[in-house]
Every structure is written in C-alpha cells, then in structure tokens.
Structure 1
Amino acid sequence: MTEREDQPNAQAAEGTTQNSATEEQKAPEQPQVKYSMSPGFSSFLGSNGIGLGISSYQSGKFYLLGQNTDGGLLVDERFFRKAMGIAVPDKDTILLATLFQIIRFRNVLGPEQQINNLYDACYVPRELFVTGEIDAHDVGLLKDGRIVFVNTLFNCLATPSSRHSFTPLWKPPFISKIVKEDRCHLNGLAMEDGVPRYVTAVSKSDTIDGWRDRRYDGGIIIDVATGEIVIGGLSMPHSPRMYNGRLYVLNSGTGELCWVETADKAADATLHVIAFCPGFVRGLGFHGKYAFVGLSKPRYERFEGLALDKKLAETDSEPWCGVQVIDLETGAVAHWFRIDGAIGELYDVAVVGGVFRPMSLGFASNEILGLVTHDELDDASSL
C-alpha cells in the first residue's frame, strides 16, 4: 500500500493488476513509499497548465504528476522495467527509454475529452522498439520523426532499426569502434529543433569501463556537430539541455545545476553554478523561469568519493530523492516534491505542457485491454 504525506488530496492510478500480464511485464510488489511536497506545489503545476513526468530505473516506475480537480496532487504511477530517459516532443507525445525497449506514447484524448471523469490526457504505448539490454539513457525526437537515444553500452547515439537492435548514428571521436563496452559512459542528450546538439559523458575513456576511474573530474560535454569537447573537468555530468538558447547541465557529482558559457576552446569555457541540490542530480526540465531538477540518494559505490559528499557535510544535509523546482534567476527553490522509503534513485524529469491531469497506461494491468480508440473514417478516401 502506498502512503502519501502532506498532500491528502493526492490520488494514484496504479497499474498493478497482473492477471493478463506476461511474467516480464508484471510489476513486483512495491514496498511502502511516502510522498510529500511543498505547500502550493500542486497549485503551481495547475496554474502553469503543466504536468510532470518522472522516471525511476531503480523501482521501474514512470510517474505523471498533475493538479487534481480538488486542488491536491494527482500521482499516476506505471511500471516499466528500468524506466530511464523521457522526452516530450509535443503535448500529445511522450518517449520513454526502458530496460530493453524505446516506447512512444500517444495521447488519445481530444481537447475537451476526459477519461475516468478525471484525466485530461491519456498516454498509451503505440510504438515499441525492442533494442535488447543496451543501457539506453536519454532520448529525443529527430526532425524527420525518428527517435534518437543515447546507447550507453555501445558508446554512441542511435536510432531504432526495423531489422536490428539499433542503428548507430554518431559516436564521439575518441571512441575507436562501436563495441559492447561501456567505455566513457555516454549518458545525456541535448536536443534543439529536432537536432542533437550536445552530449555528456563521464570521461573520454576508450577502454571498457574506463569511466569508473574518472568519476571525480573526468566529465565532459561534447558538441555533436563538430565532435569537439565544449567543456571538461566535470563530475559525472548528466541531463544537458538547451533552453532559451543557453546550454544547461547537471554536474551530478557535485550536486549542482549549472549553465555553460561556451568559448572557442574548452579550456576557456565557464561553468556557472545556479544552485546546489542535496542529492545526486539527474533529470532536468524547464518551464518559464523555472528548472525542474531530479535528485537521487547516492547509495551505491559508483557515487561515493565525489565532491557531493563534502558539500552535503558542509551544509549539514542528508541527500534525498525527488524533484526541486528552482528559480533560474535567483537559484532559490520555489517548490519541491519528495519521495521517501524504498525508492531512492530517479533518472529523468520532463515537463508535459498543456495538460492538468495526465495519466499513462502500461502492461501490468488490464486497463490497456479495454481502452480502444480509433481515427475517424474519411468518407472521401478509397482503398
């Protein structure tokens, strides 16, 4: 049973009925989790007309948050094994990377429609690309409609293939070949106008697992068009994003939201820190003057020994899991959403614009069997 604190009006749509699910699709028993939020968080979502997508690879949860009709927080939870990168190319489309699939969801509701007399958007999996277990991270949509994703295990950007697990699209110049060896831990993707602009990697290593020895300050941002390193010296960077013409990034190993002032040479680039967050930061979205930053608890060995440990000690803080809404002008936290209990790690955060109460469907319940929609018949068309 899921318990929620500080927001008694919250509701959750849980995809936990498992009668028709295959063994691979069944949601495991979920230990107790507690949600809490800052006063006004749900009203903030509602007044801005946005929902919020969150993924947790640790729990296999894909969340959609919105404001309920009574003003409380609405939390929709679905199970997708190793839920990772999220992209929202438009109001009616969500992309999600998972353990061995890239999924394209489509909203099946029209402007004035609702489902269950509550939700104003219902995202249904309509295309599934089976990639195999390649450790896909960030995902995006190209101008031509193809999905692009970070193939971390093979150190490249890739697109789904109609025949194979993937089609390589680009690799960093320092990676000598496409091979099943996570060498540099390529992870983040910044898209702009349907074009991959920048990627993040934990290092520029070209040997298997070489990035693990470079976690402290080996992180880099790479310009996809030129292959040049834009800035180095980062600590496990994630979630590069282009927003209003500026390059933002999460310097995860230091717990900082930053923006990058680029220069002709990487050595001359400047990393501007906007805010420190008490956690391993990963997952970044924007709306208006606000950034939505995902926080995780650094529980595992790969997170230890980073500058984040020292910063937490200096601020007398414990790391936590959730999302902080940060004012880009002041660096102050305007709102927050927190998850306590068994879930301690998130991967991505994305803003879903133009909706108030979004939900999705998964494969761990019977709901997807009964929701059948169709296009209108065009009387002028012919076979």
Structure 2
Amino acid sequence: MTTAPTPDPAAPNAAADAPAPAAKQPATNLTVSRGFADWLRANRLSLAFTSYQTGQLFLVGVMPNGTVSFNQQNFTRAMGVSYKPGRLYLGALHQIWRLENMLRPGQLGNRNFDMVLVPRNAQTTGDVDVHEVGTDEAGRVIFVNTKYSCLATLDLNDSFRPIWKPPFISKLAPEDRCHLNGMAMDKGKPRYVTAVSRSDILTGWRERRHEGGVLIDVETDRIVTDQLSMPHSPRVYGDHVLALDSGRGQIIRVDPATGDRTDIAFCPGFLRGMSIHNGHALVTVSKPRNGTFAGLALDAAMTERDAEPWCGVLVVNLASGDIVEWIKLDGFITELFDVAAMPGVVCPMSIGPDTLEIRSTITFNPEIAPLG
C-alpha cells in the first residue's frame, strides 16, 4: 500500500532552454540544449547529479509533455552518487544515504513520475569526506574515504571498515594525504582508483595539483600512470579505462597495460564525476573556486580558447569527442560533483529527508507477515 507523494514546490519542471530556480537558495537558472529531452527519450534515460556546494541532489527526466523535469532535494554536502535499478546511494557530509523507489509496478507519482525515491537508510560515517560510492557483487557499499586515504565499506559498529589503501600510504590518518577521490568498479569489485598525488603527509597533494596524479590498479597495487593532473572518476570501458584528467580539462582513455593516455574531449570547466551510457560520457563541470584553476593547464587552455568556464552536465560522444547535449547552471550554483545515469527511468523524483512530504509518504505491504 502506498500513500502517494504530494507535489514538491521546491522541485520545478523546466522546459528545454527555459530557466528554473534552485530551491531555497539564491537564484540559479538551469537551461538545456535543444535536443536534450529527445536524447533522454531516445536513450530511455534519466540522470542524477549532485552539488556539494549547495547540498542538493538533482534528478533529471522528461515529463509526458516533453519538457525536461528538474527535481531537487537537500542533502548536506551531496557528493558521490551511484544508481542500481530501483535504488540510489548518495554520499553526504557525515552519512551515506540509501534511497529506494517506493512505487509498485504500474504506479506513477503525482501522475507524472515513474520513479519516486525515498530515503530509507542513512548510515553514519562521520565526516570522512566521502567521494565516490559504489556497490560490490555482494551488495556491500564501497566508498572512497578521502580523509583517511583508503577505500572503505560500511560497518555496523564503527564509522567505516577500511578494505584497501594505496601502497604509498603508510598510515590511515584523517589527513587527506593524497586526495584519493575516484573509484572504478569492474565485475562487482573495485578495480581502479585515482589520486591527485603519491603524497604521504598531511594534505601533501595540494602542492602536486599540476602533475603527478595517479591511476592505480587496486588488484595489484600497480600505478598504471603517474602522468595525470588532478585525475577523477575512472571508469572501465571495454579494454581501457576512461578518466577525467581534470587539471587539463580532458576526458581521457588510458591503456591499463602501458599507461598510455589518449585525449578524447576537452570540457570547459573543472571535471568531476562521470557516468557512461550507450557510447556517451555524462560528466559534470564546475567553475573555479579560490583559484582552483591557478597553475593548471586547464587555465591556459581556457584562455587559449577565449572561453569562460561552465557549471553543468555535458553529454560527450566517446567516438567523436563531440559534446552533443548539455545542461547549464548559471547563478548561485557554480560547482557540481557527481553524475549517475539511470537507464530505463523516464522521469524520476525524490523526497527529501527534512521535508513535510516525507512525514506523510508511507508505504507498506498489506499482507500480514507470519511471526517467527
């Protein structure tokens, strides 16, 4: 039995190329490319992206009338996001959230939404600077614990259970030594990670932003390449690894055997977060903060192209390197973190943990479960 969610006035639906204000924040305009709605429908896809700057989860889909829907909810310091059918994991300031689709087959939320994600669990980790999140073959949550420079899983008693650390990290300490930030899952296991440097001292990576970024094979502890600049978001793609060479503004392809790097596409902003779907990369770009671009090749590349940095989500054709569709944010929100493709979902919405709607949104199976 389901009590249907009530419409959320803080979750605007925006027509293509029409602005939509951000909820409970100074104004942010969201615009989309002319073909974005058609691209989502053709791929039967929706997506989730996060802004840690404003602590928001955005769900993007297409309404029955063909307009693009932006549903947004507040999750403090929203970071890594990972989608499994009917389930979304979200890393936040001091918790990892699990959101579940409350709809039964054939149901719609508010007459338009074919998925309604409700927060059902928040595992408290403390502020360990959770970055990317995934699940292994056993369904365990695996996440990048950036503050302690390790991969970790959840624990019933402790804040986390470490499961792997880079070979150059001598001690698990709350020092963000190398800025471990990205994780590629492959066949149900973490396979590759990215870090900004091989530093083994307190925030040592900050002096190594322009060079020395690493892609590491988790299975062997081998450093595949150390020729990157502020890398993020590795993803296994066929026989190669895709990653974001963020300090250069490039989506890259890396040969895992040789470490050879090939540029795929330049993106006009600081890259964080990538999801692959049907030969396309969905990536987030952000505007600079506190001199983020200073000293990076990205700064010179933007000047050379006579360009201003974007904040948004780009859809990149991996075969051609062309940016084929986009979402752009202008105004208060200038930084995004992660993005996740949601295949098979047309128009999703969520209910926030601190909203009036969550108090009255109740679902249960009316069949009485047997005792014992």
TM-score norm. by structure 1 comes to 0.91
Distance 1:134 1:2 in 2: 29
Alignment of 1:1-383 (within 5 A): 7=16, 29-88=24-83, 90-263=84-257, 268-375=258-365, 377=367, 381-383=370-372
Partners in 2 of 1:338 and 1:95 — Cα distance? 24
**Alpha-carbon shift at residue 144 of structure 1 (Å):** 1.4
CA distance 1:298–1:10, shift in 2 (3 Å): closer
Output the aligned Cα RMSD. 1.9
Distance change >3 Å, CA 312–CA 121, structure 1 → 2:
same
Structure 1 distance, partners of 2:132, 2:144, is: 5
Residues 163-204 of structure 1: per-residue CA shift (max 9 Å, x gap): 111111110110001111110000001001220000000000
- Deviation, structure 1 residue 129: 0.6
* CA displacement 1:21-61 (0-9 Å, x = unmatched): xxxxxxxx400000111101012112211111100100111
Deviations 1:217-245 (Å, cap 9, x if unpaired)? 11001111111101111000001111334
Shift of 1:303: 3.5
SS in 1 for 2:42: helix
Gaps of 5+ in 1: 17-28
Q: Distance in 2 between matches of 1:193 and 1:111?
A: 28
Residues of 2 paired with 1:99 and 1:32: CA distance? 23
Preserved CA contact (<8 Å) 1:51 1:65: yes
Q: Deviations over 1:125-151 (max 9, x none)?
A: 112110111111000101111111000
Matched position secondary structure for 2:206 = helix
What percent of counterpart residues are identical?
44
Once structures 1 and 2 are overlaid, which stretch shifts more, 350-359 or 108-117?
A: 108-117
The alpha-carbon deviation at position 377 of structure 1 amounts to 2.3
* Alignment deviations for residues 60-82 of structure 1 (CA, whole Å, 9 cap, x no partner): 11000001111010000001111
Contact 1:9 1:71 in 2 (8 A): no
Change (3 A) 1:280 1:345: same
Q: Give the match for residue 23 of structure 1.
A: none
CA displacement 1:91-149 (0-9 Å, x = unmatched): 21111000000011111113311011111001111121101111110001011111110
Which stretch has the larger CA shift, 201-210 or 300-309? 300-309
- In structure 1, what residue type is equivalent to 2:190? P
Q: CA deviation at 1:262?
A: 2.1
SS at match of 1:312: helix
Report how many residues are paired.
363
Question: 242-251 or 50-59, which moves further after superposition?
Answer: 242-251
2: CA distance between counterparts of 1:303 and 1:163? 40
Mapped contact 1:189–1:239 kept (Cα < 8 A): yes
Counterpart of 1:328, as a letter, is: L
Structure 2 distance, partners of 1:269, 1:240, is 13
Which whole-Å CA distance do the structure 1 matches of 2:180 and 2:367 have between them? 45
Change (3 A) 1:37 1:281: same
Residue 11 of structure 1: CA displacement?
7.5
Give the secondary-structure state (helix, strand or coil) at the position aligned to 1:253: coil
Query: Which structure 2 residue ranges, 5 or more long, are not aligned?
Result: 1-9
Q: AA paired with 2:311? A: C
Q: Aligned equivalents of 2:52 and 2:367: distance in 1?
A: 40
Q: TM-score scaled to structure 2, two decimals?
A: 0.93
In 2, Cα distance between equivalents of 1:283 and 1:320? 15
Q: Tell me the equivalent position of 2:3.
A: none
